[in-house]
Chains A and B, each alone.
Chain A
Amino acid sequence: MTDGAVVARTPFTDAWTSFCRNRAALFGLLLIVTIIFMTLFGPLIYRVDPLDIVSAPLLPPGEDGLPLGTDYLGRDLLAGIINGGRASLAVGLSAALLTMTLGVTVGALAGFYGGWVDRALMRITEFFQVLPPLILAMTIVLLFRPSLASVAVSIGLVSWPTPARLTRAEFMRIRELDYVKAARAMGARNARLIWRLILPNAAPPLVVAATLTVGAAILFEGGLSFLGLGDSNAVSWGLMMGMNRPYLLDAWWATTLPGVVLFLTVLAVSLVGDGLNDALNPRLRER
């Protein structure tokens, strides 16, 4: 053996190599990094308050020194898009976090314990599944009042059943595998079985689901804001689209540009999710 030339193969490096082979996924990753960079550092570079009226309303891009023009109140559209990303991404990420936490907890308990625990939890899950998500989310937002937090919570509360089902299925499969049975026979406690043995092995599909949930949550936030149920005190892409929609025929850019950025973000997240799915799924990896 020659020394040091071979990098140790771990599941992570394997997945990364496989991920890198997927051009679409790489493109998505690049896009996402760009967008995150833009929303994190953009406001420090382009220092215009997105809520401040800077010029006449509905100026087309390029006029009055404003690269993307102005919205229906005369606010800088570029500043809105840069700052709006913070709200959209923050809501998307926190909603996805809530979705996954709720979903994985419920799914893990149901899948691991089975029996009456499973039946009870699944009935609750079904209850949430049969309600139309958008209507339920709108109701929750209105029960409190539209704010970034209530929007994130409402998205989390309507989206958790899918990861719960997924987690439950994985847990039911893995808990019957030999190594889990062996550990149980050796006296491992339930907590150890769940945390150390089953959850890590159930992780790959959940990681993919979590990524896709982020995209869905961003889109969902856009939808709620578009319907006028967003936090009107914080700029977000969906809100910009909703607020400028009445002026669509006079000023297409004010609605379209935030929409394009929202589209690119969700596309990027989906591409990365797809790439992760291919990379983490051992059956697909060999293709």
Chain B
Amino acid sequence: MSQSYTVTAVAVVVVATVLVGGFGLRISRTTSDFYVASRTVRPGLNAAAISGEYLSAASFLGIAGLLLLHGPDMLWYPVGYTAGYLVLLIFVAAPLRRSGAYTLPDFAEGRLESRPARRVVSALVVGAGWLYLVPQLQGAGLTLEILTGAPNWFGAVLVALVVVVAVAAGGMRSITFVQAFQYWLKLTALLVPAIFLLLAWQGDGRPPIDFDLTEMSSRADHPMYATYGLIVSTFLGTMGLPHVVVRFYTSPNGRAARRTTVGVLALIGGFYLLPPVYGALGRLYAPALDLGTDADAAVLLLPDLVIGGTAGDLLGALVAGGAFAAFLSTASGLTMAVAGVLTQDVLPSRGVRHFRLATLLAILVPLGGSLLVSGMPVADAVVMAFAVSASSFCPLLVLGIWWRRLTPPGAIAGLLLGGGSALVAIVITVSGAVRSGWPHALLAWPAVWSVPVGFLAMILVSLATRSRIPSGTKAAMTRFHLPEALVPGARGGPR
């Protein structure tokens, strides 16, 4: 495949990202459009931004790769990534927005009136964010390696560099437009080649696609348990992902946050119709790819394998650009979310300069991690971040929003026991200490047991420390649940 096309496509994506980030502000020069410029973000735009930030390397490359290797059971991944938003909508979206919190630590502090609880949440947010960043950077390394022959570390360093430079140079002053742009870019980058691939398949006389399950390598000793582990972590973990939470702040109110979430469901659902096409056609045209993590590259190589020629090169370059958009958008969103928590809760003094320093810290650690640890499928690595989030933030948010008897000690106990145990299980899995049998299954898909642990610890310890129920609980509940129409001064409410 022609490298120059690919390099051009990646360069265009990088430049466009930086430009939209730096100049994607609303500007008005006359008072008549002043009002338009200062109008809050509509649910449609915000939904595209959230989707753009959310659709990561795991979605863009990982799903097709897993389908290729392990068959249709892997379709639970995209379903889980989508359904997570339904659970978020049902239990969290509007109240979280009404709480006014920008990050999860903000929510914990505002709801529980406790600095220690805030600190525990901060630590977990940083941990989950880093866990999620590692596979993004690894995916970037893999992509560039396969497409241009660059060394494996190069892609990761490039993504890290672009993110740091964009933030440090005062870019990303408006991230909403960047992320919305990335969504449409990613959709186009998968949709257009998919249409051509399907046409080519049609032209070949529609050869049947082999679904024989016996041929597929099973990736777990207990596939049914693994499926349930995947379902629990993705369904319940989405609501606590740091880069997802901060994007909801952009909604003007709780009602808009709900509508935004429905938009997100529709947009990412639409996107997820595409990776299976690549997975299925990959089974047919690229069986040679059946080798470990390189299956993640199926999406990138298919246009060249199936169509070939200049058209194949151009389509391949389009896919490569889309893949890079996926790394960049998720990596920049996560980095900024983690950096926000670092500036507020870890680094001593505050200020815009410190935010830049924090950005550096936020991406350097996972960059180191991505260079040290390798060989894990991107989609699997991402699910681990979901598991931590599902076992710690999901109980905190759900109980914090719906249960008046939650206390700071209860919340801390649940966060540490649920999130902590999931984190430990993942570290053991990644270290490779346990490789088979039930112990491996339980540790590699911890959510099935760690989510109940988190909930139970939070509930039981809260009940045991009744005297510590925060004094502002009643007021907080009122704020979370009261419709905007009844709040004086609220946008859309009485003035």
- Same complex for A and B? Answer no
Q: Which residues of B contact A (CB under 8 A)?
A: none
Q: Which residues of A contact B (CB under 8 A)?
A: none
